[in-house]
Amino acid sequence: MGDTVQYNNESRGVSRRRFIAGTGSILGAITLAGHAAAAPQRSLTAAGPIPSGAHVPVLVIGTGYGGSVTALRLAQAGVDVQMVEMGMAWDTPGPDGKIFANTTSPDYRSFWLRTRTKQPISNFLGFPIDKNVPRYTGILDAEEMGGIIVYQGRGVGGGSLVNGGMAVTPKRENFGAVLPSVNADEMYATYYPRANAGLGVGTVDPTWFDSADCYQYARVGRKQAQRSGFPFVFVPDVYDWDYMEQEAAGTVPKSALAGEILYGNNYGKKSLQKTYLAQAAATGRVTVSPLHKVTSVSPASGGGYTVLIDQIDTTGGTTATKTVTADRVFFAAGSVGTSKLLVKLKATGALPGLNDQIGKGWGDNGNVMCGRANHLWDPTGALQASIPCGGIDNWTAGGAFAEVAPLPTGIETFASFYLSITKNPNRAEFSWNAGTGTVGLNWQTAWKQPSIDMAKSIFDKINAKEGTIYRTDLFGTYKIWGDHLTYHPLGGAVLNKATDNHGRLHGHPGLYVVDGALIPGNTSVNPFVTITALAERNIEKIIATDL
């Protein structure tokens, strides 16, 4: 373990042990010990969906990271908050007794309004693995935006429902490029620590890691990275690491060790439902209307904003159209959701005061995937924890930070699999198509080439050192690079451009952006800790000065 380093000083402060000691105050009423996948004790949906004609002080569009932080802090400041979420509540077990479907057997719960799965890894050993599923308001949206598929979580908790929980604070030396207009001292002294605490971030116990069967794939990744001279770094995560150790011991129901990821985790992952949203529920001031999709926001004649909402059923059909009034509206629909709404509202004249930065500055966080085929003496294990815990850091020299990711197929594959985050400089723009009445994104697949080149700065070297080759069977036939997708959409309503330096939209007082749309395309690491920390920073200012 000698030269294995912790990724950054900031998250080292929230050590695994300290997190566990602190959970009582962080999570308030909810019990971590039981690990039930259940939603918070006081339900956010108990009050029923918002009625048409309602007037609310604050309406938050979306229940991901930005929305959850905003709702909690406003509620703690004494403000009643109505959250509107197009996805489902994800608080009720399906016919198999579980809330979420398994990664290896996607079903009706897995995809957002599709009749066929669109799995990020589309092929295996030369065979396509997608299959037909009933059309349903499932948890993972594979949104096809022309040149790129943008994967997003749908439901109460947003991306926290589907993601790998990798909770990474950027290295401070990279922060200036991530959010140039934000005071780094404040972020690293106050808001990153606050976000890490609120999210319940911890790190795998290195001693356990060294012996756990389920991390053989990560140890192979570490060994090969180090043999090629790259630092392997432990990556913090919001998974409950004690719970994972109990999974390995066979004393609790399995989640990470059952390969759960992408379509929800039934037990050990601390999604927002178990952290920020549980705390929000405990205030008694926050209500969520699931299966409600905001379609318009425009100035109301008597002040505030008129918000149009479609209530939908699980086939995606509209069952009611509601009109409500809100004094303030917080856009937290995610980078794509917020950008699409704002671009439409500006183009159609609903929000004429928005400036010409709306829709600009969108990036994919440089995501690109690849697999490598190891020799027979380097098996990666039939049992693989679905939660990654390490990465290869070549950001400064090569522009790439590569997660050593699992391939939880349940069989020995001898494969190493990686999701790289790269310093891709390309930025795309959303625009309104009046003919189709839709918003498009002008990203080109060829714009991934810099990402591929940066990822190759790591994997060409490892392959040369190990005498190994890339896998060509994961993304099609003879296709090495997963360059068709992103998990990390960022930008479209960039901080200090489309908004002021705290997320207030220019041109319309009382409208705010609080999610990943604020971040100009790249965070140098996985993004949700930065989205959370920025939301903490901005809402503190907004509460102090606007309310």
- Where do contacts with ligand FAE occur on this chain (CB under 6 A)? 61-67, 84-87, 151-155, 158-159, 162-166, 262, 293-294, 332-335, 337, 341, 487-488, 515-516, 526-528, 531
Q: Which of 10, 403, 466, 540 is catalytic?
A: 403
Going by the DSSP 8-state scheme, the letter that residue 51 receives in this structure is P
* Distance of closest approach, residue 421 Cβ to ligand FAE, in angstroms: 10
Helix axes 528-546, 65-76, angle to 10 degrees: 30
Amino acid making up residue 275: T
What is the distance between the alpha carbons of residues 389 and 203, in angstroms, rounded to a whole number?
Answer: 8
Residues forming beta bridges with residue 419, ordered by sequence position = 369, 403
| CB 50 within 8 Å of CB 237 | no
* Distance of closest approach, residue 250 Cβ to ligand FAE, in angstroms: 26
What is the distance between the alpha carbons of residues 527 and 522, in angstroms, rounded to a whole number?
Answer: 8
Q: Of 167, 179, 113, which is closest to residue 142 (Cα–Cα)?
A: 113
Question: Toward ligand FAE, which CB reaches closer, 65 or 175?
Answer: 65
44: Cβ contacts below 8 Å, ≥ 6 apart: 83, 89, 156, 277, 280, 281, 286, 287, 288
In degrees and rounded to multiples of 5, residue 223 shows phi and psi of: -60, -45
What is the distance between the alpha carbons of residues 142 and 262, in angstroms, rounded to a whole number?
Answer: 11
* Distance of closest approach, residue 74 Cβ to ligand FAE, in angstroms: 15
Question: Toward ligand FAE, which CB reaches closer, 201 or 466?
Answer: 201
What is the distance between the alpha carbons of residues 62 and 252, in angstroms, rounded to a whole number?
Answer: 33
| CB 94 within 8 Å of CB 122 | no
Q: Which of 35, 484, 488, 508 is catalytic?
A: 488
Is-catalytic flag, 488?
yes
189: Cβ contacts below 8 Å, ≥ 6 apart: none
Is-catalytic flag, 292?
no
* Distance of closest approach, residue 5 Cβ to ligand FAE, in angstroms: 20
Token pair belonging to 96: 């198999």
Helix axes 528-546, 192-199, angle to 10 degrees: 110
* Distance of closest approach, residue 67 Cβ to ligand FAE, in angstroms: 6
Q: Is 411 exposed, middle or buried (0-12, 13-18, 19+ CB in 10 A)?
A: exposed
What is the distance between the alpha carbons of residues 321 and 102, in angstroms, rounded to a whole number?
Answer: 34
- Stated as kind and residue range, the H or E segment containing 210 is helix 206-211
Could you write out the DSSP letters of every residue in 158-197?
GGGGTS--B--PPPHHHHHHHSTTS-HHHIIIIIHHHHHH
Ranges of H-type helices in 415-503: 449-466
* Distance of closest approach, residue 323 Cβ to ligand FAE, in angstroms: 15
Residues with a known catalytic role: 403, 488
